[in-house]
Amino acid sequence: MSQRKALITGITGQDGSYLLELLLAKGYQVHGVVRRVALEDPEHRMSRILPHLNEVQLHSASLESYPSLHNVLARVQPDECYHLGAQSFVSYSFDDEFSTFNANINGTHYLLAALKEVAPRCRFYFAGTSEMFGLADEVPQNERTRFHPRSSYGISKVCGFDLTRNYREAYGIHASSGVLFNHESPRRGFEFVTRKITSGIARILAGQATELRLGNLEARRDWGHAREYVEAMWLMLQQPEPNDYVIATGESHSVREFVEVAFDHVGLDWNAYVRESPELYRPAEVNSLLGDASRARATLGWRPKTTFEQLVGEMLEADCRALGVAAPGISSAHHR
Ligand code: NAP
Ligand code: G4F
């Protein structure tokens, strides 16, 4: 059997980097779409995939340009395409709805339209999100739960989800969407709340900060480990028929609980450091998310393994180690 080829958009992000490693381990020839500027400054812009730069073929293209995506797909002729590239920060989507829509809606449309033209047998994965449920009217949320997005990010992902389903139904493309709940790791961007907390604690321990300013501490999320969630993406594209799958742990915690567990882990009292800042509240909040991944368990055989406490500990240890700080709960083993 010839070597399978995969193309990943968003390969420089948290999930892209874990997916790259998974596919390399499975013997794939991996191609990645990156922004042109990334190729000029790999040290900073490709930090998550630096160890694998000689094992992956990178192509510069823009999610805002149909011809550039068409060219890459025509040249690579992938068997599987994982579309992870997106403006993924919900807060920022309130500041700039336009760039969020351009990247997330047009980018998905251009990629699907090009796929249909030049690689119609390529299997396609769309990175859907629990933000599509937003103000959910049932708990827990599954594949049949109604969408009620609360940000332009959420709206853009509903549109990408609908585009993906429509290309499946109208043109027979093997196109699947993962509806992934929040997933984190030591590679999470610093702007997301979990990494903001663990890196903030490391800075406090290192004497570089005296407080941690956060927004809404009562928001609840279903947090899992990114390394496990990219396995679900791959499993979706191995199924004979395309479908949509919720991927979640089935357990939810508040931001406050994340804070408590994290500060506890290093023996600090969080009340002495955390300030709740109303200016960090969102204009429309998604208060609570909890996923039901029964379909993924039954059909893909997928289930989460990392516990909430293990996730917090792994992220904290990595951030403390990066700053060379020691603390009661921090071991010397290396995780990444
Ligand atoms: P991430 O770390 O923010 O990575 C996003 C990737 O998209 C990066 O490679 C980034 O490239 C690229 N990108 C952003 N804007 C772009 C643009 N205008 N043109 C081209 N590329 C662009 O996100 P992630 O956590 O890995 O998430 C991967 C995907 O899953 C995203 O689509 C996200 O919306 C979705 N998702 C994430 C979660 C989660 O909890 N992590 C849950 C559900 C769904 P640069 O490095 O050049 O910026
Ligand atoms: O970590 P967050 O920014 O993640 P959010 O908004 O849930 O989005 C992430 O998960 C989605 C899946 O559901 C992805 F689709 C999306 O791409 C992204 O990866 O915020 C989590 C919660 C929110 O309720 C927010 O209001 O934490 C609350 N929060 C409280 N203080 C904060 C802060 N969020 C951030 N980023 N920074 C704070 O200081």
Looking at the whole model, is its pTM more than 0.75?
yes
Cβ proximity of 208 and 156 under 8 Å: no
pLDDT digits (tens, 9 = 90+) for 50-107: 999 999 999 999 999 999 999 999 999 999 999 999 999 999 999 999 999 999 999 9
Tell me whether residue 298 is in a domain.
Answer: no
Q: DSSP H helical segments within 187-333, as ranges?
A: 193-205, 226-237, 255-265, 294-295, 308-322
Residue 102 lies in a domain: yes
d(CA 172, CA 169): 6
Structural domain that includes position 167: 5-183+225-247
Q: Is 129 a catalytic residue?
A: yes
Residue 134 domain-assigned (yes or no):
yes
Q: For atom 1 of ligand 1, which residue has the closest CA?
A: 13
Assigned domain for 59 exists: yes
The response to whether residue 243 sits with its C-beta less than 6 Å from ligand 2 reads no
CB 296 within 8 A of CB 232: yes
Tell me if residue 131 is catalytic.
yes
Question: 3-class SS at 336?
Answer: coil
Rounded mean pLDDT, 206-224: 98
Domain count, the chain: 1
Rounded-to-integer distance, Cα 304 and Cα 264, Å? 24
Q: Is residue 266 part of a domain?
A: no
Residue 322 lies in a domain: no
For a mutational test of ligand 1's pocket, the pick from 31, 56, 88, i.e. the residue with the most ligand atoms closer than 8 A to its C-beta, is 88
Residue 196 resides in a domain:
no
Ligand nearest to the CA of 13: 1
Cβ of 282 less than 6 Å from ligand 2: yes
pLDDT confidence bin for 332, thresholds 50/70/90: low
**34 found inside a domain:** yes
- Is 273 labeled as catalytic in the residue annotation? no
Q: How far is CA 175 from each of CA 102, 123, 149, 292, rounded to the nearest angstrom?
A: 21, 6, 22, 21
Bridge partner residues of 254 (DSSP)? 220
For the CA of 46, the nearest atom of ligand 1: 46
Confidence band (pLDDT; 50, 70, 90) for 334? Answer: very low
- The domain that holds 67 is classified in CATH as 3.40.50.720
Atom nearest to 191 CA in ligand 2: 36
Q: What percent of the chain is predicted at pLDDT more than 70?
A: 98
- What is the number of the ligand 1 atom nearest to the C-alpha of 89? 3
